[in-house]
Amino acid sequence: MRFETLAVHAGGEPDPGNGAMAPPIHLATTFRHGPAGEREAGYEYQREGNPTQDRLEAMLAALEGGAAALATGSGMAAMSVLLDSLPAGARVLIPDDCYTGLRVLAHEFLPQRGVSAALVDMADLDAVAAAARGGVALVWAETPSNPQLKVADIAALARIAHDAGALLTCDNTFATPALQQPLALGADVVMHSTTKYFGGHSDCMGGALVFARRDAFFEAVAHRRHLTGGILSPFNAWLTLRGARSLPARMAWHCRNARALAVFLEGQPAVEVVHYPGLASHPRHAVAAAQMRDFGGMLSVRIRGGREAALRVASRLKLFTNATSLGGCESLVEHRASVEGATPFSPQDLLRVSVGLEHPDDLVADWAQALGDGPASSAG
Ligand SMILES: *Cc1c(COP(=O)(O)O)cnc(C)c1O
């Protein structure tokens, strides 16, 4: 079955008991069993497993082409349960441009278990191979990356990781399986913040891990999720399932709008550079074109004039709301350096943009007025 068809049908089978076309939500925390713990339908306690989560996990595995999936309470819960399942003393490679939360885990929490993380430019395959020679348990890719939209060659990273005896994990939040399927390119685990495009409406947190194999490592991560409790609520599992049915359609629209905005911004004198993998000027455009179906709804832009100029543009945008997160219907903009804490990692002139589902002409017009010398500019 093709992706669009799977997205509508995987996990969405009519209720066998009553034919309901919308999947039911089972809120039960506990399930009847026999006097000696005999299970009736495989369930015992919600934290271990439940019918709504089963539907969501079947959908996630189907869309990523994996053997098994685990839903979690957030993207960070997915990341944590995976990294905490590595043996104490393990070494991991993480991207030099990545979701802030991963960098904080790597600096604050992993060392407490003797797990060390080396930051590597995942686009530089020689650098990755050299870093992997030191012995490594897991290579973490995030492509396109947050917030600089760096692109890493997933198939090449898989070869390097496997040659070193390591697993390759790919954070596929920005692309989603509608645009990129890391397991088919050799990755072992895909991680998602389903809070973003899967949910799609900025109203539902969640995370996921999808595994290429239902093996001992999968069982260890599933066991840890059960016992440490970072599960997804049935209600959020249901909202995520609901969002996934329209994922391919929404992604097509996000891509179209982001491309239109990226092309416009690239031609603006006030703009230093646009980071969007769909532009021919992107340094890894060819890699992106080879491993992605389309280039996504995220871009970032560096504004000439530094921090003050970037903040002025952010303050003048009207349709693009200043807010964190991404992947919803509404367009958002964020000066990342301002929200990254005491030691910001992002350049001070960078604005990250989540391009929503509005009409592209309205989105471009908003940037045109914000970059231009309209009346508000005298205030800045
Ligand atoms: C948001 C995000 C995360 C973290 O997910 P939460 O659902 O916020 O916990 C991880 N990776 C990427 C790329 C993200 O955008």
Domain ends where: 244, 261, 286?
244
pLDDT band at 373 (very low <50, low <70, confident <90, very high): confident
- Cα–Cα distance for residue pair 330/342, rounded to 1 Å: 29
Q: Using one digit for the tens of pLDDT, what is the confidence trace for 82-128?
A: 999 999 999 999 999 999 999 999 999 999 999 999 999 999 999 99
Write out residues with Cβ below 6 Å of ligand 1.
Answer: 74-76, 99, 101, 142, 146, 171, 173-174, 193, 195-196, 205, 207
For the cut 60, the answer to whether the pLDDT of residue 378 exceeds it is no
Respond yes or no: is residue 99 known to be catalytic. yes
Residues above pLDDT 90, as percent of the chain = 97
Tell me which of 43, 99, 197, 276 is the catalytic residue: 99
Q: Using one digit for the tens of pLDDT, what is the confidence trace for 269-323?
A: 999 999 999 999 999 999 999 999 999 999 999 999 999 999 999 999 999 999 9
Domain ends where: 222, 244, 266?
244
Tell me which of 47, 224, 304, 307 is the catalytic residue: 47
> Count of domains in the chain?
2
Respond yes or no: is residue 171 known to be catalytic. yes
Domain that includes residue 216, residue range:
3-244
65 and 19 in one domain? yes
Q: Which of 72, 104, 145, 173 to mutate to test the pocket of ligand 1 (most atoms within 8 A of CB)?
A: 173
pTM of the full structure? 0.96
Instruction: Find tokens 């599992």 and name the residue.
Output: 237
Q: Using one digit for the tens of pLDDT, what is the confidence trace for 237-281?
A: 999 999 999 999 999 999 999 999 999 999 999 999 999 999 999
8 and 144 in one domain? yes
Mean pLDDT of the chain: 96
Contact 147, 273 (CB under 8 A): no
Distance 76 CA to ligand 1 centre (A): 6
Distance 79 CA to ligand 1 centre (A): 9
Instruction: Find tokens 């590597």 and name the residue.
Output: 120
Distance 145 CA to ligand 1 centre (A): 11
326 and 231 in one domain? no
- 269: preceding bond cis by omega (within 30 degrees): no
- Measured CA distances, 84 to 130, 243, 260 (Å): 25, 29, 41
358 and 231 in one domain? no
Looking up residue 225, the CATH number of its domain turns out to be: 3.40.640.10
258 and 235 in one domain? no
Q: What's the pLDDT at 380?
A: 36
